[in-house]
Structure 1
């Protein structure tokens, strides 16, 4: 899975099995899930708008799309082990009103395989967490009139997860990510938290289980590789790549094995980071070839 924001649109690219409640939703194999910002006075056909956006980027048919009036620099991305959740949120339309288009869009991705029933249950789990988060914030409604959820997993992975309710590991991760991330997304959209771009949170067990927002400006470990390194991809979009040239599987203190790549600087050189920004869907082999040329 790769994700990037371009021209007011979040693109999530890969080979997915996905379920969507958004425009043209359902259950399907897709290569792209996107969340696109529209103007506040948007009156166009949603299907047509998504067709134009995807065609402009060479994407045809096999995608699920969401629309929102929330700007993508208010996006919150939350990573909890194998689960990544993307949230944009605004709550100006708890009741029908064409002049207040803000909405809550949630995309939950798992790099582990899921049965179709688990994908559908992920939508229920995310919706329940959204309603509870709004309740805790003091809102008297469980969502807006235009909210949408997409649940996606790696298409080629074996279906490890049959269920995704809150008693399951994957459901608990989705629930916790939405419960924490929705208030953060609203705080950004409402101007109470100011960031120059999307926010990235990771669930950390170091020093006790908690969420951490990564900000390169305040990183206490800089420079962790070398002076002058670029930290745009501190949390690598290729992780876990499984390439023996770049890392190795190591035993986790919490049990199991995790991909260790502390010595990899593939995307930390200024040239490598810039190349990735220009070519966000570059394969690992392409990135390695580029490194050899510089």
Structure 2
């Protein structure tokens, strides 16, 4: 799985078995999931066709699940908890039973797992994510459990590792925690209590006790973690965990088991490579490594 975003759209790419409650949703294999921002006065007679046209404009085929929102992508929250990554945009000015279609609304949640989920687990993850969303709204003092147009997409890659995803399972407790935190943070950004100029990234850390850490490039206490002049735009790596042993390693986790460490990887910190990736967001790791090799073979005079 990898993801990238433009000013108005989040794209998540991979080889997924997925379930969607959104427009033209269902259960199936997809290679693209996206969340697209529309204007508050959006009134398309055929939203499914609109999504198809959007996918086609990017060169993507019909194997996708798409979502629409009036929330700006700069309010997007991305949360990583081990093998689970969650993407949330949230606006609640259109709560049921008093909808106001002229104002921004919709809580969109995309859950991805790099460990395979059976179809039952995919569907149960939708329930778990919805429970967490309802709790986040309750803790925020809202009298409703969602808006009139909320949607959830759940996707996983690889062979099936999990057949259940309730809140007591390894999948469910991670999804619940990420969605609970993500909805709260996304609402804070949409409603102006927290101001960020770009999407926000959160990582679940066990260092010093379990907690969520927001990564921000400004004032990072670890800069430079690799070399002076490094680019930090992709510190929250869209390829993680790449499992490319020329770039990273499996290391022992403080909580047991192994985790992927990319502490020695400088690929996306190198200015020329980072600039190339911004110009070519569909580039894979092999292409980026090849581009870096070409720079090494033909250094600028």
Tell me if both proteins adopt one fold, taking TM over 0.5 as the criterion.
yes
Preserved contact between residue 75 and residue 199 of structure 1 (Cα < 8 Å): yes
Counterparts of 2:178 and 2:12, CA distance in 1:
18
With 261-270 and 90-99 compared, the bigger mean Cα shift is at 90-99
Per-residue CA distance 1:70-109 (angstroms, 9 max, x = gap): 1111100000000000000000111233323411000011
The question of 1:193 aligning with 2:181 is answered no
Counterparts of 2:68 and 2:265, CA distance in 1:
37
Structure-2 residue corresponding to 1:100: 103
Which ranges of structure 2 fall in alignment gaps of 5 or more residues? 296-301
Per-residue CA distance 1:192-215 (angstroms, 9 max, x = gap): 111111000000111111000000
Q: Which ranges of 4 or more aligned residues in structure 1 deviate by more than 6 Å?
A: none
- Please give the root-mean-square deviation of Cα atoms over the aligned residues, in Å: 1.0
Q: Secondary structure at the match of 1:160?
A: strand
Counterparts of 1:107 and 1:244, CA distance in 2:
28
Counterparts of 1:89 and 1:244, CA distance in 2:
37
Structure-1 residue corresponding to 2:221: 220
Q: How many residues align?
A: 292
Q: Secondary structure at the match of 2:268?
A: coil
Aligned pair partner of 2:124 in 117, 121, 124: 121
Counterparts of 2:69 and 2:113, CA distance in 1:
23
Superposition TM-score, scaled by structure 2 size: 0.95
Aligned pairs for 1:71-82 (under 5 A) are: 71-82=72-83
Superposition TM-score, scaled by structure 1 size: 0.97
Aligned pairs for 1:1-294 (under 5 A) are: 1-44=1-44, 45-95=46-96, 96-154=99-157, 157-294=158-295
Counterparts of 2:221 and 2:150, CA distance in 1:
38
Which ranges of structure 1 fall in alignment gaps of 5 or more residues? none
Preserved contact between residue 2 and residue 281 of structure 1 (Cα < 8 Å): no
Preserved contact between residue 233 and residue 268 of structure 1 (Cα < 8 Å): yes
